[in-house]
Amino acid sequence: MSERPPIRVLLADDSATTRSYLAGLIAAAPGLTVVGEARDGEEAVRMVEALQPDVVSMDIRMPRLDGLEATRQIMARRPTPTVVVSALIEEDVDLSFKAMEAGALAVLRKPPTQRDPDFSTLQREFITTLKAMAGVTVVRRWQDALAAEKALTENPAPKSDTIKKYRVTGALVSKPEIIAIGASAGGPSALSSLLAGLPANFVPPIVIVQHMPDEFLPGLARWLGKHTPLHVCMAESGQLLQPSTVYLAAGGSHLTIARRGRALITNKLENQGDSRYCPSIDVFFSSVAEVCGTTGVGIILTGMGDDGAKGLLNIRQASGRTFAQSEASCTVFGMPGVALAYGAVEQSMNPEQMAQALRKLTENS
């Protein structure tokens, strides 16, 4: 039985020291090899076409062509799984999320030196993410996506083969009390599109669990706030959910929903080791199903793995409303695909159509 060939990585970073350091981390990891090193975005675009790597480690701030524009060009010319490896300064974080909007699959903090107490954790995260993203089929070209959105704008009525409809079980639909959203790889772009389609007077609070390194989540909240008239903030434990507000779960603990009288509040639970993800979308969705029943709306967006499928099924079995992102609009169809296979999804659609559906749901309730 022949050995599996190593995953071929292209490194793009303007610092020779950083390239050498990251190349050393990759060389020490089994199953990975560096096939090229680009000093700027222009070289990265050319090397992707010439070397056809399995995954790109992309610095965000580089001369001549930065990581944002390089990602856009790669997704337009030769879509390749791209991981943004960024510093934590505010400007770089903002550019990193714009790169994800352009098609990058994940964003990571640059691994520190071996003297840093977080070295082992961040080194492992860097290697694990490169391996995981290399296995993703990038299904959306950036320019094709723009053309698809133009077509949807001109003809908003979806064709029967682009939206899969499922029979809604249970009693009469209740007025939505909460919109619960789970997302992973490719999620920031989908979230920005969905939230941009909601008006400032959209009443039900929106609570999001997005798989992402904890250090980037405040930056994600800030970036999403630029794409929606709704207020966006990080969720705190014991927080009373307010109307017209978007809450983003922090890392390190599970987020659940509970009641205080008739009001909804957020709670944080420590991971007991029984969940692969923290925060877990399944844990979050299951609490929404238990607490809200028919007044809960669950949405599963693009992402790898299966987190959220069982929890979304719980919401549907409690007669809440459930939606999943359509395969054509997903960066990664893993989580929505598993939810569909579980029978957890009432309708499958793109993020813009989800915003339309949510507006109608609140208007007609």
Q: What residues act catalytically?
A: 184, 211, 307
- Cα-Cα-Cα-Cα dihedral sign, residues 145, 185, 242, 293: positive
CA distance 225 to 234: 11
CA distance 155 to 90: 39
| Three-state secondary structure string covering the chain | CCCCCCEEEEEECCCHHHHHHHHHHHHCCCCEEEEEEECCHHHHHHHHHHHCCCEEEECCCCCCCCHHHHHHHHHHHCCCCEEEEECCCHHHHHHHHHHHHCCCCEEEECCCCCCCCCHHHHHHHHHHHHHHHHCCCCCCCHHHHHHHHHHHHHCCCCCCCCCCECCCCCCCCCCCCEEEEEECCCHHHHHHHHHHCCCCCCCCCEEEEECCCHHHHHHHHHHHHCCCCCEEEECCCCCECCCCEEEECCCCCEEEEEEECCEEEEEEECCCCCCCCCCCHHHHHHHHHHHHHHHEEEEECCCCCCCCHHHHHHHHHCCCEEEEECHHHCCCCHHHHHHHHCCCCCEEECHHHHHHHHHHHHHHC
CA distance 22 to 130: 12
Radius of gyration of the chain (CA): 20
CA distance 344 to 323: 8
Q: Which residues contact 95 (CB under 8 A, 6 or more apart)?
A: 60, 61, 66, 67, 68, 86
Instruction: Tally Cβ neighbours within 10 Å of residue 65.
Output: 18
